Chain A
Amino acid sequence: MELQPIYIQILALAIFALGLMTAISRRNLFFVLMGVELALNAVNLSFIGFAKTLPADMSVAGQIVPLFSIAVAAAEACVGFAMLILLFRKKESVDSDNYSNMKG
């Protein structure tokens, strides 16, 4: 039995589902941001797993794109946590239910 690409994709899918559940259903704002990071990681893993199923020259692109994805995730975390600090300074709380005054 050898390592198959489908195992990598199933692992990426499981981590993505866990990240999505963390981002949507947890109430602490830190966990919302961490769930987004987890989902982004799973997408990177899926990219690399699929890149290895392509022939020689085409397999390089799938290993370059995650680099950009990681850098965009860094920018996203930077701005996201700055917004978290701003929100925390307004209401002294990290419970997302305290920020529900925008819901229609």
Chain B
Amino acid sequence: MLALIYFIILAVIALGAAVCVFLSRHPLYGALSLVTSMVALAGIYGLIGSPFLGVVQIMVYAGAIMMLVTFVIMVLNGARDSKTPMFDKVSLFVIPAVLALAGLVGFALVRAPLAFDATALRGSVALTSRTLFDVAQTGPGYFVLFEVLGLLLLSAMVAAVLLAKKRLGSVDTENTEESH
């Protein structure tokens, strides 16, 4: 009963913040609503028994990614086009289509028999790290994925630096960089 009350509070916060992302005009308000939604979702992760994922969600999503988002919004002055209308004629078709999709999936979900399993393990730090770094030959082998993930993040970082840097080597770009 208490879990349900906590869940309803967190769900209302998460949904309300998601609606704010959809309807807000300035991207910075949208980003702050997104942080609120992600923190509420982290609370739900902890509530249903995955505290490690909740902490990772706060550290990586609400911390790192949203810091990047707000930083880019501030650097680029993202409110520049806030006078243009938020929606156009395409939205008239997109929004009912997405709502219809959600209705269909929701109908299928409600009809499916689902119940919590009492023996489901709590995703604590110890259990998660033991499974993730199980290097035994008969183990699940998640550590290989973990290594690949390191490569992926490294290549994403290199790609971001290469994409976003000023064109180096020409004289006038170097001059403008010095003047800033």
Contacts and interface: CB of A to CB of B under 8 A. Distances in A.
Interface of A: 1-11, 13-22, 24-28, 30-31, 33-35, 37-38, 41, 44-45, 48-49, 51-57, 59-61, 63-64, 66-68, 70-79, 81-86, 88, 92-95, 97
A11 B48 CA distance: 13
A49 B123 CA distance: 12
What secondary structure prevails in chain B residues at the interface with A? Answer: helix
A15 B164 contact: no
B135 interface: no
A45 B41 contact: yes
Interface residues of B, number: 84
Q: Which 4 A-B residue pairs are closest in the complex by CB-CB distance?
A: A75-B156, A82-B160, A25-B91, A30-B27
A48 B50 contact: yes
Interface of B: 1, 3-4, 7, 11, 14-15, 18-19, 21-22, 27, 30-31, 34, 37-38, 41, 44-45, 48-50, 52-53, 56-57, 60-61, 64-65, 68-69, 72-73, 75-76, 78, 80-82, 84-88, 90-91, 94-95, 98-99, 101-102, 105-106, 109-110, 112, 114-117, 119-121, 123, 127-128, 131-132, 140, 142, 145, 149, 152-153, 156-157, 159-161, 163-164
